[in-house]
Amino acid sequence: MSLDDLRTKSPVLLLSVLVYTVTQQTQGTDAGVHDELVKEAMYIIGNEIIGRGQRSIELVQALLVAAFWSKTSRKGQQGSCYQLIQLATDMAIDLGIAGPGLIPSPVAYFDMHENTTSLEARRTWLACFIVRIMRLIDEVSSQMCLCQSAIFVDGNDYNTHATISHLRAKIDAWADQIPSGLALSQTLKVWYHVAMIHLHEVVLHTPTNTASFTAPFLPHRIVAKGYPKPVQVIPPLQSALKTLAQHCHAAIDTVAAMDPALVLSLPTFCFAPSVLYSLFVLVNLLVVSTDPANTYGRYLARDKDL
């Protein structure tokens, strides 16, 4: 679709792209004008949805762009990226592009998209699935305290694994809802494995090393010591170690099999770092399993699991 086509047929989507994906420096605007653009763009999108009651693939895409490249103005409050994700997903379901498994609300019956299986509709729903798994990853991060270095979640505790089981059920439920037409999507497979890696990362945590698992994922941040060394490793932890290694390999192998053009077209701010994160965790697993003084090596075979 050309720029003229976007301007004529999808002006709200074009506005969202220009405001949210283009930086202030590239726009050539000062901070005040940039803030006004962000506020006005959100007002226009909100007015289309709430004020005028519109539903369209264009609006779903505009919401997803605003969520992926989330910006906030320096003054005032506005909706969070999670609210935008929820709005986009609900609207996609109401348009009927979510497949037969998710039924639109009765009030949206007459707004259903005329071609729910078109390439554009399928791409839009695929993007909805991506933002939904990213939201689940954020929930995992919150419940497992991955971003709170002052809080230690013990991977050798049964209560921890009860939480892991609860969150794993949510991630599996997301995977089960993927329509058959998207089941072979390599992008969704990568995000599934990355979510599982985040979920099981705590098995490598100690009270002092949590911060070393945050970005940037650089080689010098991998330490040779400072990993957990429980004397008695509970059965759920033994399984979690193998599960973590499997998902690291699966994420990396899936990306390696992808078309380079597809990889380069994906949002660089979230996809590439997630792949590096998978490799980073896998290397940490290799280090901890080859330490003669560490008990984890009993449950991770270097030639089989790593």
pLDDT of residue 113: 66
Q: Kindly report the CA angle at 215 between 209 and 218, in degrees rounded to 5? A: 85
pLDDT of residue 219: 84
Instruction: Categorize the per-residue pLDDT at 156 as very low, low, confident or very high, splitting at 50, 70 and 90.
Output: very high
State pTM to two decimals. Answer: 0.72
Q: What is the mean pLDDT of residues 80-106?
A: 80
Looking at per-residue confidence, does 26 or 159 come out higher? 159
pLDDT tens-digit readout, 256-284: 999 988 887 676 657 888 999 999 999 99
pLDDT of residue 163: 97
What is the DSSP track for 242-306?
HHHHHHHHHHHHHHHTS-HHHHHHS-TTTHHHHHHHHHHHHHHHHHHHT-TT-GGGGT--TTTT-
Q: What is the dihedral of CA 93, 98, 99, 104, to 10 degrees?
A: 0
Report the Cα–Cα distance between both ends of the chain, in Å, rounded: 45
Q: What is the mean pLDDT of residues 147-158?
A: 91
pLDDT tens-digit readout, 276-306: 999 999 999 999 888 888 888 888 877 776 6
pLDDT of residue 109: 63
Looking at per-residue confidence, does 68 or 284 come out higher? 284
Q: What is the mean pLDDT of residues 67-77?
A: 76
pLDDT of residue 218: 84
Looking at per-residue confidence, does 129 or 161 come out higher? 161
Instruction: Categorize the per-residue pLDDT at 101 as very low, low, confident or very high, splitting at 50, 70 and 90.
Output: low
Q: Report residue 224: phi and psi, to 5°.
A: -80, -20
Residue 246 has pLDDT above 90, yes or no: yes
